[in-house]
Amino acid sequence: MKQSVMDPGIEAGLISLSVEDLDVAEAAAIYRQYGCLVVRGLMRPYVEDMAADIAATVEQSIALLDQAEKRPEGWVSPNGSLFIPAPEGYSRDKQIMTVGISYLTSAAFLRSALDPTALDILEAILGPNIELFGQGQSLVKEPVGGHPKHLHQDSAYFEHRFEGPVAILSYVVDTDLSNGALHVVPGTHKKGQLRHVDTFSHLGLDEDEWPWEASLPVTGQAGDSIFFHVRTVHGSKQNHVDSPRPVFINRYRRPDDYAIIRATTTANRAEAEKRAMRARRDDEPKGLMVRGFRPFSMSDGAGADGAA
């Protein structure tokens, strides 16, 4: 018989601190224990600019939607936004999911990734040397029915050789149960890699084994940030209000870490699992260093760029 987890066991207050009087060691200890941490107000300085840049990118993406390319995950517009099928009765047949904004297109996004307090917390978690993983990610739930993201571990999408990336998801608008608050399942970062299935929102956990009741909703204000481990189970429900619900995510990892499996469906994950043992640091682009130093290693091809 399938076993299901029915209660997150703790309240959000236990994993929440305020940026105003932050104790970095306490923040790192919460993260280590629960695999998640809320820092109220951390990204407040960037919210106004991020709201404008995300909205501009969404507008651009919708204008380019007729040129979107079909992919296994949905449709990707020429500016890099991912669309999935829209709910019934919607004005379009496709809704936006991930927004084609990145550190290459938004200065505010890059500034947010370099926030000194965020980096202090990350240093206490990851150690002195830290690189950016990816180019930044943003998700928007469109108004009145915008997509749910099923409970999942990010490691289903990018499993790493070592500790894996730390994600910081930040709210751009006040976010509660009506517009798609992030839900986390504290402590699940210690459970190893869980079996995922194909869902409407790509890889997700079996809902019978991992119902929403197992998770802790984290409501918050614009500028509140949620740190979570690559194996922490998390997700969010639909947006039921008449305005969009944007978030942005910065991810960081040790510079010697690397993805051994990348996937979006059970089929492409099964293929990627066969190649996991052969994955090398060298196979991935290096991220920008945001703390410390990247030690040279003969085995990771670090000298190759300087050869020309």
Ligand X SMILES: O=C(O)CCC(=O)C(=O)O
Residue 308 C-beta: closest distance to ligand X, Å: 37
- As measured in angstroms, the least distance from the Cβ of 180 to ligand X is 6
User: What's the closest the beta carbon of residue 101 comes to ligand X, in angstroms?
Assistant: 14
How far apart are CB 201 and ligand X at their closest, in Å? 8
- 74-103: which residues touch ligand X (CB under 6 A)? none
Site for ligand X in 219-238 (CB under 6 A): 234-236
Which amino acid is it at 67?
A: Q
Interface residues for ligand X in 161-180 (CB under 6 A)?
A: 180
Distance (Å, rounded) from C-alpha 135 to C-alpha 127?
Answer: 21
Candidate residues 247, 260, 272, 290; the one interacting with ligand X per rule CB under 6 A: 247
Hey, which residues does 252 pair with through a beta bridge? Answer: 132, 166
Residue 122 within binding range of ligand X, rule CB under 6 A: no
Residue type present at position 250: N
Are 203 and 174 contacting, i.e. CB atoms less than 8 angstroms apart?
Answer: no
What are the b/e assignments for 228-241, b being 16+ CB within 10 Å?
bbbbbbbbbbbbeb
Count of residues in contact with ligand X, rule CB under 6 A: 10
User: Using the rule CB under 6 A, which residue among 139, 230, 233, 279 binds ligand X?
Assistant: 139
The verdict on 149 binding ligand X (CB under 6 A) reads yes
Nearest 5°: CA angle at 119, between 192 and 151?
35
Considering just the CA atoms, what is the radius of gyration of the chain in Å?
19
CB of 5 to ligand X, least distance (A): 18
Q: Which is nearer to ligand X, 148 or 291 (CB)?
A: 148
CB of 140 or CB of 260, closer to ligand X: 140
Position 183 contacts ligand X (CB under 6 A): no
Give φ, ψ of 291 to 5 degrees: -150, 140
Q: 154 or 300: whose CB is closer to ligand X?
A: 154
State the minimum distance, in angstroms, from the CB of residue 228 to ligand X: 9
Contact status, residue 147 vs residue 63, Cβ threshold 8 Å: no
Strand partners, 227: 37, 168
Six token digits for residue 36: 């998640």
In 3D, which of 194, 245, 204, 249 has the Cα closest to residue 227? 249
- Find the shortest distance in angstroms from Cβ 304 to ligand X: 32
Residues at the site binding ligand X, with contacts judged by CB under 6 A: 139, 149, 154, 180, 182, 234-236, 247, 249
